[in-house]
Structure 1
């Protein structure tokens, strides 16, 4: 991997924002993220005091809970050069919405803006900040990539994962007809509108299957679990994985949605 750009710290200190779903359902994504960040030259720490990013409460209109969670994060990630999350959804919340939370508290608002400016989605951080242009992974498979809504629309994450996946030795990347179309998860959307959500994920996995890919990749675990659940119920052989696992060259965990040994 290439070294950090000259304007960045020689070995930037990164606080890894693990995310709730990674912590509870897919720790392998966290370990893959640490490997990628350390390979890029970062010093990585995982603050014990971190909590949810506050997005579920924020989307549900619970401003008080959102603000309480974010105040805790401002303390937990104080002093890090960067805060990096393996999730466009959580990173989008931290970077795009946190700055607007404390309009009646100027001191905290200033801290929130400074904090948000240090927050990044994992793959975009590797490419755009650390200037990584090559990973050492090798995988003789065919994969397709789903653009998760928050990462794409709030953070402009599109070219970065494809750039790094293009450097995975022996991997063939094929595009879906509509890679940017929502998978139907949408956090609380799938709970509020289950019939619409179900139709959307059916369309998405059909699009993925039409590519002939063996792997379906994305950068958001919520989307991945949603698509994996539908594929598993259909009996599809397509494996679903977080892009970080492929880039780190570690597929030791079973595919998302499948028990170990399958």
Structure 2
């Protein structure tokens, strides 16, 4: 059976285990049901997620011109501390920026490969943690806008990482830690402007990923170099497909690639 469409990050649903869905324009796949099945992934063409044109993907699923024009790729996306909507100041599209930035944001700790700090909209909890492959996470601060969450993250990065080792996450060489202790230890480092939004009573969230077999080491599938690949699906973690030959495929990292997926 063959399915095809442009790749976007997999949709997920919290559960034991987490459910993964790959959604194309005309097709819908529950990826959990494909575990232990042989899949073939064929690159067909590019399709920019913004303009829809068949142009090479530059970053984040966008062609180069759209990446530098669309508000969905403004610098404040990756660096929340650069948010300016609370000042009524436009970056690329003030209406869109107000819609996204002026809503509750969570500063959190997540353990994917190590303890890291991050920021996400409140509506994206626990989706953001799932996308990062975190097996445990906890909220630290609930700020009323993205800017306050961003400056809190910057302050906490002085004491804890903001990066994840995707290789370590995918091989599952991770240790459980007490995130409540980490949260309490970091409280004094929260900027004064955000200190009133500290969350001191919540508990850790545990996340269970549908992985039958973790790879001992990982090799990443690059569709530009390998436009056709076949392997047996052994797991889903973060936004990665894990195959039986240690190959891993980052769905989010290949957004904007139009592919065919065959179930053999």
TM-score by length of 2: 0.29
If asked which structure has higher relative contact order (CA below 8 Å, sep 6+), I would say 2
Larger Rg: 2
Q: Which has the higher strand share?
A: 2
TM-score between both structures, scaled by the size of structure 1: 0.29
Structure holding more helix per residue: 1
